[in-house]
């Protein structure tokens, strides 16, 4: 499973000297293909800064960041723009549609920097609008569309260059709950498609709970990653449970990072493992998520 | 095309701002176009007035003026006295002795008489041979001689001699009490072999013909009159005019150019020399330079070759022309240009500020475009394109306004006056004698001609203004960070 996002020691500092503000202070994060991740945290926790870095809108002041396998630290503006065009689709809280362009033209706008010829762009735009259920509204200006419809247009726009990752910034923040749910459903359906990754930024706990994986930020640091367990406590059972949740969708062996976390957790609960399980795990090399899920199930209180 | 659709949609969305920007540029370029057209019209009008002076014909007039030394004032000729050599003084006395009319020679007392005497007024005569010397000066393309004299008509009755206290009969002074009319006229002799260098050129004939060109023998009996003089005398083309004992056929009526040199009566040079008893003498050289650029050098060369000479170039004559035409032209050149430049700068500033304001308002929109993969260059191009389109609209409207303003000026056809102070010069002019510059005024109708290059200039200026505004706005847009599209959320 290849990582769409691979970040190590990610730092973003605004300003310099005594006026310097650290928005992100050393974030490690890996997001794999097909994952749907919710980044949560209070205002000022650094989640929008993280989203900007993940979307190649900004460069880290320190640390390394690879998007779709490409390190962005040394990329020029044009290269970043191409990376955004080809690999990232943005969905914004305020929809950010161009008010003077029709729904179809808004979708087309994202394809303008590509080599796709005009007629093909228009055809694809209509196709995408059809996919989000808005084929009848293609000729309308954003001002004539409801909030939900506008966000659907924005999703269609975000998908127009078939990106590997969708970045959604509070995608339901300006929508009522029913509309928000349908938009979320739409995002989820695309997440499953072709191994597309969806990263949501939200401070809506309910919305975050819908995502299979949650990453919580506070003061510019990851304080919780459901894939790794609760960052606040070192409860090995929770770590294993989180890893196991990933396992439901991933029958492959654990990657190095998860394996390291799993080893620590397993060592901590070693006394609770039966000798048979211990023997089956061996030194844990080659452990798959599915196997880990079974171990976790055994260890669950009452399991 | 997407960017055109986007551009026109943006211009329509901010219609008020677009109209304001375009109108600002339009007013700027309209002013530039109108002022330029007006300035051209004034130039044309000036050229029309000055063309006879500076166009074909002579580039300069050379004479040997009679004047007081530098430092002399009023009746005091200065320490050096009048600038004449002894020989020149003698010559002057001799030439003007003819003016001392002896009443005894006119007839018996009571007889009617009519005579004409010729007086050398402000310009000393010199031999015709000087002409050859003038032709030898470097840069001289051609030269012709001329003779300008004051003719004094005397007409009346020979008075009775008045006995003196001691029984002597007094001399001609008694004529002052006699019944005699004086009438002065400026007479000029024309070399008919050099029509373009003559005092009166064929182009100045307004009625009839010029002298029979190149045929002095026939031309000897012909006379050309200045229009004012002919009107005063009640003489028309085809009629005959008596000068002393001679009869001449009036072949043409001439209107000398404003500011140019004019006489009342023009005769063939040889004939004038004969009737004025100045055979072989001339007092003016009319000189043409090889090229107009050489006029200054040639004038200096002649002044060096002819000490004491006075060289007056056509351009110097032209500077004497004044009046509302010149005032308007000066105004158009100075104030008009300043106004147009200020208006243009103002328009570009307004366009730039409005574009900057627009970019500031569109931070999120432009940031969104960057976020979805538009490069910095593409965003700059979009913003510049919108401003450029506004410039094109402003340019077209402005050119139309400018052309309309120019058309209104042309349709109204205001008249301007070109005027010249009466000729200054030598002392004899105080008595109305001698040839001098033509004074008076000429009315010229003002137009404001517009041509395609001017229209293109106007449109081009507005487009350039739009481009400046667009580039400034575009650079500001380029400095926006794409991350700003998301900022409103944190």
Q: Spell out the CATH class of A3-225.
A: alpha beta
- pLDDT given at position B197: 82
pLDDT digits (tens, 9 = 90+) for B23-76: 988 988 888 888 888 888 887 877 777 666 654 456 788 887 765 555 545 445
Domain boundaries, chain A: 3-225, 236-299
Residue B489 pLDDT grade (very low, low, confident, very high; cuts 50, 70, 90): very low
pLDDT of residue B175: 44
Q: How far is A83 from chain B (nearest CA, A)?
A: 8
- Would the pLDDT of B269 be above 50? yes
Size of interface A-B (CB pairs under 8 A): 101
Q: Which residue of B has its CA nearest to A54?
A: B483
Q: Which chain A residues have any C-beta within 8 angstroms of a chain B C-beta?
A: 43-44, 48-49, 51-52, 55, 57-58, 77-78, 81-82, 84-86, 89-90, 92-94, 96, 98-101, 105, 108-110, 112-114, 118, 121, 157-158, 161, 169-170, 173
Instruction: Judge: B372–A58 Cβ closer than 8 Å, yes or no.
Output: no
Closest-CA distance of chain A to residue B382, Å: 12
Domain ranges across chain B = 2-55+324-487, 66-308
Nearest Cβ partner for A55 among B10, B369, B371: B371
Edge-to-edge, what's the strand order for the sheet holding B321-322?
B321-322, B415-420, B440-445
Q: Is the pTM of this model over 0.80?
A: no
Question: How near does any CA of chain A get to the CA of B455, in Å?
Answer: 33
Write the secondary structure of chain B as one string of H (helix), E (strand) and C (coil). Answer: CHHHHHHHHHHHHCHHHHHHHHHHHHHHHHHHHHHHHHHHHHHHHHHHHHHHHHCCCCCEEEECECCCCCCCECCECCCCCCCCCHHHHHHHHHHHHHHCCCHHHHCCCCCEEEEEEEECCCECCEECCHHHHHHHCCCEEEEEEEEEEEEEEEEEECCCCCECCCCCECCHHHHHHCCEEEEEEEEEEECCCCHHHCCCCHHHEEEECCCCCCCHHHHCCEEEEEHHHHHHHCCCCCCEEEECCEEEEEEEEECCCCCCEECCEEEEHHHHHHHCCCCCEECEEEEEECCHHHHHHHHHHHHHHCCCCEEEEHHHHHCCEECHHHHHHHHHHHHHHHHHHHHHHHHHHHHHHHHHHHHHHCHHHHHHHHHCCCCHHHHHHHHHHHHHHHHHHHHHHHHHHHHHHHHHHHHHCCEEEEEECCCCCCHHHHHCCCCEECCEEEEEECCCCCCHHHHHHHHHHHHHHHHHHHHHHHHHHHHCCCCHHHHCCC
Q: Which residues of B touch A98 (CB under 8 A)?
A: 6, 365, 368-369
User: Are the Cβ atoms of B368 and A51 closer than 8 angstroms?
Assistant: no
Inter-chain contact A90–B371, Cβ cutoff 8 Å?
yes
Q: What is the reported pLDDT for B439?
A: 57
Tell me the per-residue pLDDT of B303-339, one tens digit each, with 9 for 90 and over.
888 877 888 877 776 666 666 677 777 777 777 778 8
Q: Residues A214-272: pLDDT tens digits?
A: 898 888 888 888 776 544 445 677 667 666 665 554 567 776 667 777 777 777 777 77
In sequence order, which residues have a C-beta less than 8 Å from that of residue B26 and are 6 or more positions away? B393, B394, B395, B397, B398, B401, B462
DSSP symbols for A94-127: T----TTS-HHHHHHHTTTTSS--HHHHHHHHHH
Give per-residue pLDDT as tens, A80-120: 999 999 999 998 888 899 999 999 999 999 999 998 998 99
For the complex shown, is ipTM > 0.90?
Answer: no
């Amino acid at each position: 499973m290849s990582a769409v996002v691979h970040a190590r020691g990610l730092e973003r500092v605004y300003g310099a000297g005594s006026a310097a503000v650290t928005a992100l202070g050393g974030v490690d994060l890996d997001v794999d293909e097909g994952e749907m991740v919710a980044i949560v945290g209070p205002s000022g926790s650094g989640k929008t800064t993280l989203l900007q870095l993940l979307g190649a809108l900004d460069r880290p002041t320190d640390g390394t960041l690879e998007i779709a396998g490409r390190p962005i630290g040394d990329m020029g503006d044009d290269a970043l723009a191409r990376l955004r065009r080809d690999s990232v689709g943005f969905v914004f809280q305020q929809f950010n549609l161009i008010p003077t362009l029709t729904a179809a033209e808004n979708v087309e706008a994202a394809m303008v920097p590509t080599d796709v010829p005009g007629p093909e762009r228009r055809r694809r735009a209509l196709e995408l609008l059809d996919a989000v259920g808005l084929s009848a509204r293609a000729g309308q200006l954003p001002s004539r569309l409801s909030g939900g419809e506008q966000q659907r247009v924005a999703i269609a726009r975000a998908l127009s260059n078939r990106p590997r990752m969708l970045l959604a910034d509070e995608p339901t923040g300006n929508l009522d709950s029913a509309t928000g749910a349908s938009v979320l459903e739409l995002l989820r359906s695309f997440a499953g498609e072709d191994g597309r990754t969806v990263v949501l930024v939200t401070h809506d706990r309910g919305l975050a709970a819908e995502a299979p994986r949650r990453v919580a930020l506070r003061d510019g640091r990851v304080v919780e990653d459901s894939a790794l367990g609760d960052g606040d406590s070192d409860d090995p059972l929770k770590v294993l449970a989180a890893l196991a949740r990933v396992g439901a969708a991933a029958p492959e062996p654990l990657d190095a990072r998860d394996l390291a976390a799993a080893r620590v957790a397993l060592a901590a609960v070693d006394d609770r493992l039966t000798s048979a399980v211990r023997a089956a795990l061996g030194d844990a090399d080659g452990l798959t998520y599915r196997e880990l899920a079974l171990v976790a199930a055994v260890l669950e209180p009452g399991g | 095309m997407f960017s055109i659709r986007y551009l026109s949609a943006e211009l329509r969305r901010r219609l008020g701002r677009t109209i304001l920007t375009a109108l600002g540029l339009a007013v700027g370029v309209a002013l530039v176009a109108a002022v330029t057209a007006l300035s051209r019209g004034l130039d044309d009008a000036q050229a029309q007035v000055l063309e006879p002076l500076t166009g074909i014909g002579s580039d300069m007039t050379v004479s040997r003026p009679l004047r007081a030394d530098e430092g002399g004032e009023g009746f005091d000729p200065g320490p050096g006295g009048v600038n004449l050599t002894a020989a020149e003084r003698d010559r002057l006395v001799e030439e003007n002795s003819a003016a001392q009319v002896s009443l005894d020679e006119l007839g018996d007392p009571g007889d009617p008489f009519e005579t004409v005497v010729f007086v050398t007024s402000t310009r000393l005569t010199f031999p015709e041979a000087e002409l050859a010397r003038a032709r030898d000066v470097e840069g001289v393309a051609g030269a012709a001689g001329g003779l300008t004299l004051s003719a004094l008509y005397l007409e009346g009755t020979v008075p009775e001699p008045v006995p003196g206290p001691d029984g002597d009969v007094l001399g001609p002074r008694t004529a002052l009490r006699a019944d005699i009319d004086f009438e002065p006229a400026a007479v000029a002799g024309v070399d008919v072999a050099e029509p373009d260098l003559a005092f009166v050129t064929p182009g100045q004939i307004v009625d009839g013909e010029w002298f029979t060109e190149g045929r002095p023998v026939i031309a000897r009996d012909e006379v050309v009159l200045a229009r004012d003089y002919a009107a005063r005398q009640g003489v028309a083309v085809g009629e005959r005019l008596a000068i002393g004992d001679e009869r001449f056929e009036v072949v043409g009526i001439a209107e000398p150019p404003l500011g140019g040199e004019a006489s009342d009566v023009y005769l063939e040079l040889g004939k004038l020399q004969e009737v004025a008893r100045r055979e072989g003498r001339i007092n003016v050289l009319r000189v043409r330079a090889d090229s107009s650029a050489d006029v200054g050098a040639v004038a200096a060369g002649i002044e060096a070759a002819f000490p004491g000479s006075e060289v007056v170039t056509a351009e110097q004559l032209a500077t004497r022309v004044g009046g509302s035409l010149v005032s308007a032209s000066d105004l158009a050149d100075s104030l008009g240009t300043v106004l147009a430049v200020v208006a243009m700068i103002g328009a570009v500033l307004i366009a730039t500020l409005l574009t900057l304001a627009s970019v500031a308002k569109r931070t999120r929109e432009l940031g969104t475009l960057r976020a979805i993969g538009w490069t910095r260059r593409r965003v700059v191009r979009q913003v510049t394109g919108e401003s450029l389109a506004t410039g094109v609209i402003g340019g077209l409207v402005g050119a139309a306004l400018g052309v309309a303003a120019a058309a209104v000026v042309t349709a109204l056809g205001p008249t301007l006056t070109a005027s010249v102070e009466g000729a200054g010069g030598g002392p004899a002019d105080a008595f109305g004698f001698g040839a001098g510059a033509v004074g008076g005024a000429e009315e010229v109708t003002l137009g404001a001609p517009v041509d395609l290059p001017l229209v293109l200039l106007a449109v081009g200026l507005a487009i350039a203004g739009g481009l400046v505004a667009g580039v400034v706005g575009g650079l500001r847009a380029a400095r926006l960070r794409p991350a700003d599209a998301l900022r409103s959320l944190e």
